[in-house]
Copies of this chain bind each other. A is one copy, B any other.
Amino acid sequence: MIKVVAKAKLKSDVNPEDYIMLAKELVAETRKENGCLYYALHQDIKDPAIFTMLEEWEDEKALEQHNQSAHMVRILPELKKLRESGELNIYREIK
C-alpha cells in the first residue's frame, strides 16, 4: 500500500470554493477506481488557500492508472490553473 500527499497553494485571487467544487468532482470519480483505498480533500485550518489531497492506493500500478484516468486528465489541468504552487510525494509507512 502506498500513500500520496498532494499539497497545493491557491493563487491569491482564487476563491477556495471554486477549487473545492472542482476537486469534489475528482474525489467522487476517483473513489470508484480499482485500487483506490482512500481519497479525500483537506483544507488547512489556518490558511484556507492550502489544500491537500490525502490518498491511499493498493500499489503503484493503481496510482498510475489513476493518473491516466479520464477524470484526472480532464480535471487536474483545471485545478492546476487555480494553483500558485504544488508538491506531491508518494510514501510508504515505516513500521
A residues sitting closer than 8 Å to B (CB atoms) are: 2-3, 5, 7, 20, 23-24, 40-46, 50-52, 54, 60, 89-94
Mostly, the A contact residues are: strand
Chain B proximity of A15: nearest CB distance (Å): 14
Q: Is B20 a contact partner of A94 (Cβ separation < 8 A)?
A: yes
Q: Are B50 and A3 in contact (CB under 8 A)?
A: no
Residues of B contacting A54 in the complex (Cβ-Cβ under 8 angstroms): 3, 5, 54, 91
Q: Which residues of B contact A93 (CB under 8 A)?
A: 40-42
Residues in chain B near residue A41, CB distance under 8 A: 93-94
Please state if B24 and A94 are interface contacts (CB–CB under 8 Å).
yes
Complex CA distance for A28 and B20, rounded to whole angstroms: 36
> Once bound together, how far apart are the Cα atoms of A52 and B46, in whole Å?
20
A7 touches B42 (CB 8 A): no
